[in-house]
Amino acid sequence: MQRAQKLAGEFSRRQQTLSKSLNAFIAVADEQSLTEAAERAARDTPNKPLSDTFVAVKDNICTSDFPTTCASRGLTGYRSPYDATVVSRIRAAGGVIAGKTNLDEFGMGSHSLHSAFGPVQTESGHSAGGSSGGSAVAVATDQCHVALGTDTGGSVRLPAAFNSILGFKPSYGLVSRWGVVAYANSLDTVGFFAKDSAKMKDAFSESNGHDALDPTSLTSATRKRLDTVLASRSERSKLRFGIPEECIIQELSGPVRDAWKSTLLALQKAGHEIALVSLPSLPHALSAYYILAPAEASSNLAKYDGVRYGQQAPDSPHLGPLYARTRQHGFGTEVRRRILLGAYSLSANAIDNYFMQAQRVRRLLKQDFDSLFRLPNVLSNAKNEERDSGTIDVILMPTSATLPPKIDLVKEQAPLDAFATDVFTVPASLAGLPALSVPIADQIGLQVIGQYGDDHNVLNIGEVVASLKINNRHERVANVIDVPSRSRERRAWRRNLCLIADLKSDGAQPEEGLGQRILLHVCKQQEVEEVVWPRVRHVRELCLYVGNDGLAGKRLERGAVAADRHRAVRWVDEGQGRGRAAGRVVGRGVALGAAEPEALEVEESAARVLVIDGNGRRVGRVGQGVGEGLAVGAPASAEEGAVRVDAAVWAVVIWAKVFLEDRVLESVVGLAEVGLCAKAAICV
Amino acid sequence: MASTLFRSIHNHPLLLCPTALFRRKNGVLYCTMKGTEAQTATQEKQKPQIKVPPRTQTKTIDKISKDYEAIIGIETHVQLNTLTKAFCSCPYNYGSLPNTSVCPICMGLPGALPVLNSKVIEFAVKVGLALNCKLSFNSKFDRKQYFYPDLPKGYQISQFDVPIATGGYVDVDLPVEFGGGHRRFGITRVHMEEDAGKLLHSENGSYSEEITAALLPKYCTTFYCGLDYILPFFSRMFLDFIYLWHCYFHVSIRVDLNRAGVPLLEIVSEPDMRTGIEAAEYAAELQRLVRYLGVSNGNMQEGSLRCDVNVSVRPIGQSKFGTKVEIKNLNSFSSVSRSIDFEISRQVLLHSQGQGDQITQETRLWEEGAQKTVTMRKKEGLADYRYFPEPDLPEVILTKEYVDSIHDSLPEAPEVKRRRYEKMGLSMQDVLLLANDINVAQFFDATIAKEADVKLAANWIMGDIAAYMKNEKLTINEIKLVPQELAELIASIKGGTISGKIGKEILFELLAKGGTVKGLIKEKDLVQIVDPLEIEKMVDKVLAENPKQLEQYRGGKTKLQGYFAGQVMKVSKGKANPGLLNKILLEKLNSKS
Ligand SMILES: [Zn+2]
């Protein structure tokens, strides 16, 4: 009891001190009420796992004793008549609700800036991450022990990484969503923040359980089956970590890659295995996410029309305009943007191209994940025996490709770039898998992603990763990559070429391409001949950064075309400029960038286009196709007809126009036309 | 309830609207100059009559209408009478105080999630099977999105591309007074969805709630977020309508959410009907069916059964459909029938005058008072409801065992019952009346199960018993008479234990107070006197007491036989067997002449 009172006082004072500078909370109890709440908890639920634990709750989770605003003007002052199940469970386990934390309105955003109550700040001036930024900052600055967040596409893991704390998104369906204000129902998951792994485990365990009020809650029968599957797994002291090659991307910033690399080396040293794995659908995950989530959101937010909640816009004499005004008045720009996007992708003209394709990508991604893990997925229908058993225990990959940007920079960022922040977090969300962001260096987190239902294991492995002694980042690792002599090992070595190639370059040079993509400019001619070239047949993606001698490019031109029709490279850069222009092989098809319009013709099956000008600079945004679709995207200078669109399904480029420019209407119409007219020429 | 028992079998004399003059060319159905008051389960108050149009015009239309054919399809919403709503545990009772039966789920409060009431699936499967549909073993729920204040979530949980049942049919017998005949109408689909709330209007006023609600468009096509941008892109129809409506009525809107979330089945027919009578009979058959199945009270006035009708007209021989017009605000079967007939003649007239292009795709409102349809709103292209799978609800998976068990528990369908009654030798009129109400049919079945004479049982039920129920406003389940006693009564009369007259007395006793036939006969000593000696004694007594009349009789005034018979009957307290009595009386009267 005394401890509870003491803690209540400490936390309350700390909340008061930091409220102005950090803005982590939307609502806090004053010292007296918090103390009373703590005393009540200590009296009513003594000696429980969460006794004397102060839990902050993201403000899109319903609590009866605080307002629930979702950081939206549309819900200002709304007080829920009931507690969310997760809140009731926390209370029943002895936890004290310490306040409601700030977020991006309705959970939409990656930096916790889009809040009706002002942005969440950090002590360093960097982005707190989002959308559960308030919860992360509250834990990081010791304003509570544990915080609840919601994770739809990374909203718990990203802020956890940016604030150097633990952030856990459990498997979808384990923690009840009853009382969690929906953003995208099929993705929303209650998540947890903590500094202390033990507290995190307690909070999760207490929240985990079937809830009849949530139809998507995992049933007791499946939970039993899951327990059986988990119990039958053989214990292994040495773990096998999977490294998805698709995550080794150009955008990965140096410090993040270094931290990742060092961690892998440390794991290897500790006797664990590192395996390069492939998630072929992963490049499409982000686009699928940004179609699915806004689509569901546009529907979920329809109810906040001001007729029932929050404020009606002043001067709204008639119902129709009232809807329009209230919704404009009540919602922030980011929410409006996503509602518009979602409404569009569900419209009759677009749904087949967008929503349905995205759902297909989601299914493929789930299959990709399932094929990797040793543990079978209890939700999949396939019998254990029929399944190609995977080999890895967990996936280890960065939570964010970059360090948190400065808040000032985020504000200038185009919405598209803000979307891209989620590139590493959405895959686990789409597949419903448990994912823990472990702080591995300052403002850098690595995600441990496990099989569905393997949550406790993920939390345990998180502890393993967190306890690693990570050595000097710039340690040379040449000894790791000696070419093995025996042919079998040599094959394995080749499979790991990317990792080796990456490790081999010591980070001083700009490095491009990993995975089955091959980095050419760091390879010597001999390597190209002996190692790279034979493997061209199998590469999925090839970054052709032509060395100064131009040799590699030339070889590739002829060779690649001959190598494999489906992975053919049409090399358009021959001898151009200073020999630095580059193209990028894409999926099964080909897409090469160049300044010349005709060079942008893209084969139908191409899955990705990168538009690069004659000097090897990327001009224009990368477009990505989904499924059979084709990508759109062209440099600003491209003339009409520069890019042919065949049943395009990727809208990012056009979204950019929708939101970057003022004339939104025309852009929406343009967007519609993409869906309608095959081969429409889009000029961005 | 009694008012919903029997169809009105008399035609309202010359209740005319031009529509009544429409004839089917193939001659199956002639309803020219007959009342169009169709229908079945209602004995409604007589509708206001409208004037007979000029004779010349009706003749013209009559002639023209032979060259055209109407295509009618019906969308029916059936409110299921589950104990609780579709996705929450609130009960629903028609007429309870506004917003007394609501919870976070049906109010669509933030954070609430729907949990499916499994009874909804059971009822849907029942209806799907009864309509001879193919069931989807894997179906799902979808969100249908539109904005309206009575829709708390901003979307309706419905089923879109995979309805629970598709491709069935329903068999219908047309009323005898409209020429009779058997029809089979196709069912396109049956799907589950939830009802919306109701708008209440504070305006003291000229329009009742129902009318105003019917005035309102049920669907709107526009997505309102960022309306300023998109408005030109979408239809402005809805907005304009609301705007005008508000300006005109100066009402403030309040919403009653009691009805929100009540489960509905939407049953969509194939465009198989050709006349108002057929359409009304189709709707009546659906009502009968849902009542037989016990899944809905099917009450049209309370909105438990709602019909939206689509009507188009095309020249006979043309395969392309004409422009479709939707009719709303139909709250009885007769309004279904009459509104369709009106609409057909309206469209036929336009066609015949070469103004077929003036028929536009629109929703028209049936005005009961004026007996005509008026434009409610024009349709500007198809509405986009932006359907997508409901992410909160799991898929609906039916197992074969589940479906089989429901199939085995289905009651006998009205159609099967009618065919069975027909085989028993009952007239079509009797068949339709008996099978119309499942309770009546069950009463009848129970009676004949006790080996009562089929024809007599039908006559009793449709005659005196029905009249009694009508007078006392009772349903057949509320009367005290039980089938076994009716069978006993019929047997007693047939066997001569009691006379038909006594039988009637006993019947009313049984209806009002219950008891057994045997008991009443014994108690009141009502057994028929069949002993000739006893009757002879009574005859002698009467003759002796009326010497004057006897003299007159014998003087040739033979009419007095009736008088004597009456007197003897009186003496016997009505118990004398009339045949025997007359025989003996006649003998005695004539013997001494
Ligand atoms: Zn309810």
- What residue numbers bound the domain in which A567 lies? 474-673
Is residue B423 domain-resident?
no
Question: Contact at 8 Å (CB) between A160 and A445?
Answer: yes
Question: Which residue of A lies nearest to B110 if distances are taken between CA atoms?
Answer: A181
Residue B380: its pLDDT value, please? Answer: 53
- What residue numbers bound the domain in which B513 lies? 437-524
Cα A178 to averaged position of ligand 1 atoms, centre (Å): 14
Q: Are B145 and B229 found together in one domain? A: yes
Q: Are B519 and B571 found together in one domain? A: no
Question: Residue B90 above 60 pLDDT?
Answer: yes
Residue B249: its pLDDT value, please? Answer: 43
Asked if the Cβ–Cβ distance from B392 to A343 is below 8 Å, we say: no
**Least confident window among A381-390, B185-194, B282-291:** A381-390
Cα B193 to averaged position of ligand 1 atoms, centre (Å): 15
Cα B94 to averaged position of ligand 1 atoms, centre (Å): 15
Query: Alpha-carbon distance A421 to A434, whole Å?
Result: 19
| Comparison of pLDDT for A78 and A648, the residue scoring more | A78
Residue A420: its pLDDT value, please? Answer: 67
Is residue A189 domain-resident?
yes
Residue B565: its pLDDT value, please? Answer: 87
Q: Are A492 and A618 found together in one domain? A: yes
Question: Residue B193 above 90 pLDDT?
Answer: yes
Residue B99: its pLDDT value, please? Answer: 84
Confidence band (pLDDT; 50, 70, 90) for A510? Answer: very low
What is the DSSP code string of A529-551?
IIIIHHHGGG-S-EE----TT-H
Average pLDDT of every residue of chain A: 70
Residues of B in contact with A150 (CB under 8 A): none
The pTM for the full model equals 0.75
Q: Are B352 and B454 found together in one domain? A: no
Contacts of A464 (CB under 8 A, 6+ apart): A239
The mean pLDDT value for A123-128 works out to 92
Nearest to B152 among A303, A320, A668 (CB): A303
Is residue B322 domain-resident?
yes
Cα A323 to averaged position of ligand 1 atoms, centre (Å): 25
**Least confident window among A657-661, B119-123, B359-363:** A657-661
- Per residue in A618-627, pLDDT (tens digit) is 333 333 322 2
Q: Are B261 and B307 found together in one domain? A: yes
First-to-last C-alpha distance (Å) of chain A: 64
Q: Are A210 and A318 found together in one domain? A: no
Cα B186 to averaged position of ligand 1 atoms, centre (Å): 35
- Out of A314, A329, A355, pick the residue that ends a domain: A355
Query: Alpha-carbon distance B122 to B126, whole Å?
Result: 6
How many CB atoms are closer than 10 A to CB A536?
A: 20
Tally of domains within chain B = 3
Establish if A318 touches chain B: CB-CB under 8 angstroms: yes
- Per residue in A436-451, pLDDT (tens digit) is 999 998 999 999 999 9
Residue A305: its pLDDT value, please? Answer: 56
Question: Residue A643 above 60 pLDDT?
Answer: no
Q: Are A326 and A198 found together in one domain? A: no
Q: In which element (H, E) is residue B183 found?
A: strand B182-194
Residue B543: its pLDDT value, please? Answer: 85
Residue A175: its pLDDT value, please? Answer: 97
Residue A514: its pLDDT value, please? Answer: 28
Q: Are B383 and B505 found together in one domain? A: no
Nearest to B104 among A82, A296, A339 (CB): A82
Question: Residue A50 above 90 pLDDT?
Answer: yes
Is residue B358 domain-resident?
yes
Q: Are B511 and B580 found together in one domain? A: no
Q: Are B22 and B147 found together in one domain? A: yes
Is residue B409 domain-resident?
no
C-alpha angle A282-A288-A292 in degrees, rounded to nearest 5: 145
Residue B59: its pLDDT value, please? Answer: 52
Is residue A434 domain-resident?
no
Is residue B250 domain-resident?
no
Integer CA distances (angstroms), B554 to A106, B122, B537, in order: 108, 78, 20
Helices (H), A45-156: 85-92, 133-140
CA-based nearest distance B185→chain A, Å: 30
Is residue A459 domain-resident?
no
Q: Are A522 and A637 found together in one domain? A: yes
Interface test with A, best of B103, B153, B224 (most A CBs within 10 A): B224
- Out of A217, A248, A267, pick the residue that ends a domain: A217
The mean pLDDT value for A84-110 works out to 95
CA-based nearest distance B94→chain A, Å: 24
Query: Alpha-carbon distance B516 to B518, whole Å?
Result: 5
Tally of domains within chain A = 3
Q: Which two tokens stand for residue B491?
A: 């047997």
Chain Cα centroid distance, residue B395: 34
Establish if A214 touches chain B: CB-CB under 8 angstroms: yes
Q: Are A560 and A645 found together in one domain? A: yes
Residues of A in contact with B253 (CB under 8 A): 319
- Per residue in B539-549, pLDDT (tens digit) is 888 888 888 88
Strands A240-244, A394-398: pairing is parallel
Domain CATH number, residue A184: 3.90.1300.10
Establish if A650 touches chain B: CB-CB under 8 angstroms: no
Confidence band (pLDDT; 50, 70, 90) for A414? Answer: low
Q: Are A498 and A593 found together in one domain? A: yes
Is residue B22 domain-resident?
yes
Average pLDDT of every residue of chain B: 80
Is residue A170 domain-resident?
yes
Confidence band (pLDDT; 50, 70, 90) for A485? Answer: very low
- Per residue in A576-625, pLDDT (tens digit) is 322 222 333 332 222 333 323 333 333 333 333 343 333 333 333 333 32
Helices (H), B312-366: 333-352
Establish if A212 touches chain B: CB-CB under 8 angstroms: yes
Residues of A in contact with B392 (CB under 8 A): 182, 185, 215-216
- Out of A217, A234, A262, pick the residue that ends a domain: A217
Is residue A51 domain-resident?
yes
Is residue A337 domain-resident?
yes
Residue A605: its pLDDT value, please? Answer: 32
Confidence band (pLDDT; 50, 70, 90) for B209? Answer: very low
Is residue B110 domain-resident?
yes
Length of chain B: 593
Q: Are A26 and A164 found together in one domain? A: yes
Residue A548: its pLDDT value, please? Answer: 31
Is residue B511 domain-resident?
yes
Q: Are A65 and A189 found together in one domain? A: yes
Question: Contact at 8 Å (CB) between A151 and A269?
Answer: no
Q: Are A311 and A163 found together in one domain? A: no
CA-based nearest distance B4→chain A, Å: 40
| Comparison of pLDDT for A86 and B98, the residue scoring more | A86
Residue positions of A annotated with a catalytic role: 58, 131, 155
Domain CATH number, residue B559: 1.10.10.410
Q: Are A59 and A173 found together in one domain? A: yes
Is residue A8 domain-resident?
yes
Nearest to A184 by CA among B388, B146, B115, B158: B388
- Out of B498, B524, B550, pick the residue that ends a domain: B524
Report B:218-257 residues touching A (Cβ under 8 A). Answer: 222-233, 238-239, 242-243, 246-247, 253, 255
The mean pLDDT value for B395-418 works out to 95
Residue A257: its pLDDT value, please? Answer: 80
Cα A250 to averaged position of ligand 1 atoms, centre (Å): 52
The mean pLDDT value for A406-429 works out to 79
Cα B105 to averaged position of ligand 1 atoms, centre (Å): 5
Which ipTM value was assigned to this complex?
0.74
| Comparison of pLDDT for B230 and A384, the residue scoring more | A384
Establish if A197 touches chain B: CB-CB under 8 angstroms: no
Nearest to A347 among B104, B224, B384 (CB): B384
Q: Are B184 and B265 found together in one domain? A: yes
Establish if B579 touches chain A: CB-CB under 8 angstroms: no
Q: Are A580 and A657 found together in one domain? A: yes
Establish if B261 touches chain A: CB-CB under 8 angstroms: no
Asked if the Cβ–Cβ distance from B242 to A182 is below 8 Å, we say: no
Contacts of B538 (CB under 8 A, 6+ apart): B568, B571, B572, B576
Strands A146-151, A54-58: pairing is parallel
Is residue A680 domain-resident?
no
Contacts of B253 (CB under 8 A, 6+ apart): A319, B149, B199, B200, B201
Q: Are A171 and A290 found together in one domain? A: no
First-to-last C-alpha distance (Å) of chain B: 60
Nearest to B115 among A78, A215, A308 (CB): A215
Query: Alpha-carbon distance A462 to B389, whole Å?
Result: 35
- Per residue in B212-258, pLDDT (tens digit) is 333 333 222 222 222 322 332 233 334 434 444 443 444 445 678 89
Residue B61: its pLDDT value, please? Answer: 58
Chain A with chain B: Cβ pairs closer than 8 A: 151
Residue B63: its pLDDT value, please? Answer: 62
